Chains A and B, each alone.
Chain A
């Protein structure tokens, strides 16, 4: 079963993606800068935007999900590739100490482990994720989320005893 990848001029495709996003979802900001379609949305609209990307626009590859801890809120970035030169970056901001966001595993199944990593490192809970466990650290008893800015590391810190 062959999969067809998009064709055509890059700028036209990026314009088309931007139009598609603007039409189907309410965006806070959007624009094209240097061959990247940049879209900023509310956290609740992220699944809608990604569904639009996959079904309407035909973008098939989710490259990564990055979380940045901004000491008060979290910035999430979802980067989508249409495998022929186009990049779409969906950004959102999560407020609060224990943020919750809808999982996109149903839309892009590759997000499964990206979201597990985000949970492990930052403590972001993904509603609707089929298997939200820690992926790098001990699964039983490591109660910290390491990449938060409040978790400091140094050579003196012995992490509860042995290191």
Chain B
């Protein structure tokens, strides 16, 4: 690992080792046993014989965060548990990823209004893949893990704008393994702000696509004929209004 950081830009050596490391990492993602609530049952179901997670290399659920690669947050994160979840996340060794499984881990889910429910796991830890559902089917979780695998394939050892930086760095530039104790209690007590000098992690990323997804992904399928007629009438009206607006705008610009 340290050898590759000698290079400043990707070259044939680093891309080859990238492929090797990413292949190794994505095919042996060991999840942490972090089943919180109902999604945990579906996660266990995914790990069992019918929907086998072991064929992806991810069937070995470890109990200790030190040995885990991916933390599948499955279930509602209460603020009491958020403190412990952050501690566990920081005890995991790099490289690590987080899958937010289920509506509760993504955004609080059906319990959004609760006074003790964290509105999404990504309020305290960075999340890589969101798997929606309540609970998501095992096939959906497998799709989430495959998406994570595709994301891991894209990683590069060199060639970021800056060198990959460690997670918790305070103002002087010292790397900290854990936050100071009061930070964890702050999460539990509900105080949001982290220490100003600690840079937030930037692993969550948005798909860098240009434009809209292909039409097949936005196709709703079958629409009842009455609704279809109404939609077509609306489309025609909107197009007419646009053309009507175009003419005066063109005039205005011309003049």
Of chain B, the residue at the smallest CB distance from A163 is B119
Q: Contact at B191–A162, with CB atoms within 8 Å?
A: yes
Residue of A141, A154, A155 near B189 (CB, 8 A) is A141
- Which residues of chain A are within 8 angstroms of B112 by Cβ–Cβ distance? 155
In the bound assembly, the distance between CA atoms of A151 and B191 in angstroms comes to 19
Interchain Cβ contacts under 8 Å between A and B, 21 examples: A138-B79, A138-B80, A138-B188, A138-B189, A141-B189, A144-B115, A157-B115, A159-B79, A159-B115, A159-B190, A160-B190, A160-B191, A161-B190, A161-B191, A161-B192, A162-B118, A162-B124, A162-B187, A162-B191, A163-B79, A163-B123
Residue of B80, B124, B189 near A160 (CB, 8 A) is B189
Counting CB contacts under 8 A, is B196 at the interface?
Answer: no
In the bound assembly, the distance between CA atoms of A153 and B123 in angstroms comes to 19
In the bound assembly, the distance between CA atoms of A62 and B23 in angstroms comes to 59
Binding site for A on B (CB under 8 A): 79-80, 82, 108, 112-119, 123-124, 186-193
Interface residues in A, total, Cβ within 8 A: 17
- Which residues of chain B are within 8 angstroms of A160 by Cβ–Cβ distance? 189-191
Q: Contact at A162–B123, with CB atoms within 8 Å?
A: yes
Binding site for B on A (CB under 8 A): 136-138, 141, 144, 146, 151, 153-155, 157-163
A135 to nearest B CB, angstroms?
A: 12
In the bound assembly, the distance between CA atoms of A154 and B114 in angstroms comes to 8
Number of A-B residue pairs with CB-CB distance less than 8 Å in the complex they form: 52
Of chain B, the residue at the smallest CB distance from A137 is B116
In the bound assembly, the distance between CA atoms of A155 and B110 in angstroms comes to 11
Of chain A, the residue at the smallest CB distance from B119 is A163
The 7 closest A-B pairs by CB, nearest first: A162-B192, A161-B192, A160-B190, A161-B191, A161-B190, A153-B113, A162-B190
In the bound assembly, the distance between CA atoms of A159 and B119 in angstroms comes to 11
Of chain A, the residue at the smallest CB distance from B83 is A138
In the bound assembly, the distance between CA atoms of A144 and B115 in angstroms comes to 10
- Which residues of chain A are within 8 angstroms of B191 by Cβ–Cβ distance? 160-162
Of chain B, the residue at the smallest CB distance from A156 is B113
A17 to nearest B CB, angstroms?
A: 40
- Which residues of chain B are within 8 angstroms of A163 by Cβ–Cβ distance? 79, 108, 115, 117-119, 123, 190
- Which residues of chain A are within 8 angstroms of B114 by Cβ–Cβ distance? 153
A116 to nearest B CB, angstroms?
A: 16
- Which residues of chain B are within 8 angstroms of A161 by Cβ–Cβ distance? 189-193
In the bound assembly, the distance between CA atoms of A151 and B113 in angstroms comes to 12
In the bound assembly, the distance between CA atoms of A154 and B124 in angstroms comes to 21
In the bound assembly, the distance between CA atoms of A155 and B111 in angstroms comes to 10
In the bound assembly, the distance between CA atoms of A162 and B112 in angstroms comes to 13
In the bound assembly, the distance between CA atoms of A146 and B114 in angstroms comes to 10
- Which residues of chain A are within 8 angstroms of B118 by Cβ–Cβ distance? 162-163
A117 to nearest B CB, angstroms?
A: 14
Q: Contact at B188–A154, with CB atoms within 8 Å?
A: no
Most B-side CB within 10 Å, residue of A136, A144, A146, A153:
A153
Q: Contact at B79–A162, with CB atoms within 8 Å?
A: yes
- Which residues of chain B are within 8 angstroms of A141 by Cβ–Cβ distance? 189
In the bound assembly, the distance between CA atoms of A137 and B124 in angstroms comes to 19
Most B-side CB within 10 Å, residue of A151, A158, A160, A161:
A161
- Which residues of chain A are within 8 angstroms of B82 by Cβ–Cβ distance? 162
Of chain A, the residue at the smallest CB distance from B82 is A162
